[in-house]
Amino acid sequence: MTDPATRRAVLLATATGAAALAVGCGSDGGGGGGDTSTTSGQELARTTDIPVGGGKIFTDEKVVVTQPTKGDFKAFSAICTHQGCTVGTVADGTIDCPCHGSRFRIQNGAVANGPATRPLPPKQITVDGESIRLA
């Protein structure tokens, strides 16, 4: 289920900005650690990367971060609760799954449109200045 190396390989194969990705991510493995004491958590994004009233999907981390209202950031699993596809877009106030059309509200992950019947589970993030990190 969690295989960031594979996802990263796909990204590297498709993105011309691969060097930027490699430079931006300083950790190799150790994804299971929940220790947030001294080393800062993994930065997902800058607050300015997340549009107000929208969001951004991080496929490598399987997380979607939204900003329903200015300065209010939320995070949810990016795995659709219908059949497990990764959600594909954030538009018009919903997080949309490309597989069968389920849509989830950016405010709370609740189902706005089926066939999914369960909300996207929330994820813990911290906002430190302009950095959004996995908690």
Residue ranges binding ligand FES (CB under 6 A): 80, 82-85, 97, 99-102, 115-116
- Minimum CB separation of residue 80 from ligand FES in Å reads 3
- Minimum CB separation of residue 93 from ligand FES in Å reads 17
Rounded Cα distance, 108 and 87, in Å: 15
Q: Which among 115, 95, 118 is positioned nearest to 107, based on CA atoms?
A: 95
Report the residue number, 38 or 117, with the smaller CB distance to ligand FES. Answer: 117
Report the residue number, 116 or 125, with the smaller CB distance to ligand FES. Answer: 116
Report the residue number, 41 or 66, with the smaller CB distance to ligand FES. Answer: 66
- Minimum CB separation of residue 28 from ligand FES in Å reads 31
Residues facing 26 on adjacent strands: none
Tell me how far CA of residue 28 lies from CA of 22, 34, 42, 111, in angstroms: 10, 15, 11, 35
Please identify which residue in the block is written with the tokens 């990190």. 133
